[in-house]
Structure 1
Amino acid sequence: MKPFDNPKVAAAFEALAPPARAGALALRDLIIDTATTLPAATPLRKELRWGQPAYLAPKGSTIRLGAHKSASFALFVHCQSRLMGDFTSAFPNEDRIDGTRAVLFDDPHQIDPNRHGWLIARALTYHL
């Protein structure tokens, strides 16, 4: 697990239920790893948005992680962007989706670094 820069973000992860925390931490590592491969995604800011860990790149769209009413945890993107539409077109019927805003997970093993990394990379460079 990568160390935390922001104690408020660390506290938000700690507040998640253990199954959700494990998955959200795995997604966090994937976001950070993906950002390091994209020069336009650095510096990556780690903050709270709506009380959830959020990741913001200089030319990107916000990515949030947290619990979801219909799943253990979720990766959220801006609902008014085309990110989820592009994702579901590229990977039809691969994931449970909440409209235009989230990919839903019940287990960290459902995270696919290639597929979900694709979505993360698109979000981190959305405004390029």
Structure 2
Amino acid sequence: MPNPIGKTSGKRAARPRADVSDPAVEAVFNAYPAPLKAKLKTLRRLILETARTTEGVGALQETLKWGQPSYLTPETRSGSTIRIDQVKSAAGQYAVYFHCQTGLVDSFRELYPTKLRFGGNRCILLDVRDELPRAELRHCVALALTYHLNKRKAAR
């Protein structure tokens, strides 16, 4: 069963906790080589922290989609799914994947043309040897986690 992260019973939301996870998701993380696993776990924490501090997102659900750790906003339906995984065709590469029909990656490309690398209209590409571009990724993750919320606001 998918794991809702950051929500307890009752009305108060708990902080998203990176140590609470679906065993299937943990198994995927544990199967990565050590340097890649460390980077993906850091990326996971960044996603959870961004969700916790972004207005309107609510609790995240961590699950597997296409065998990749995935983050959804089922409580508020505020955002588009975010997935993270290694890039299987490129050693030492990993990525943050977004729904290709949202236009999110095109927006990120406009915002950060020289700070981030992209894989078509699907993902932000990262390298295990590089520092994580935290500020830029937080902004992109926040935009993805509020994608539907922002569309609803724009339609009013």
Deviation digits for residues 90-126 of structure 1, max 9, x if unmatched? 1112222100111111126431221010000001011
Equivalent residue for 1:6? 22
Equivalent residue for 1:93? 114
CA contact (8 A) 1:20 1:67 kept: yes
CA distance in 2 between counterparts of 1:51 and 1:91 reads 28
Q: Secondary structure at the match of 2:51?
A: helix
Higher helix content, 1 or 2: 1
The structure, 1 or 2, with the larger RCO (C-alpha pairs under 8 Å, 6+ apart) is 1
Equivalent residue for 2:83? 64
Equivalent residue for 2:5? none
Root mean square deviation, CA, Å: 1.6
CA contact (8 A) 1:36 1:42 kept: yes
The alignment's TM-score, normalised by the length of structure 2, stands at 0.76
Equivalent residue for 1:119? 140
**Shift of residue 19 of structure 1?**
2.0
Q: Secondary structure at the match of 1:40?
A: coil
Distance 1:99 1:18, change over 3 A: same
The residue identity in structure 2 corresponding to 1:88 is: R
Choose from 35, 47, 50 the match for 2:51. Answer: 35
Equivalent residue for 2:67? 51
Deviation digits for residues 32-78 of structure 1, max 9, x if unmatched? 00000124211100000000100001210000010102352111111
The residue identity in structure 2 corresponding to 1:53 is: P
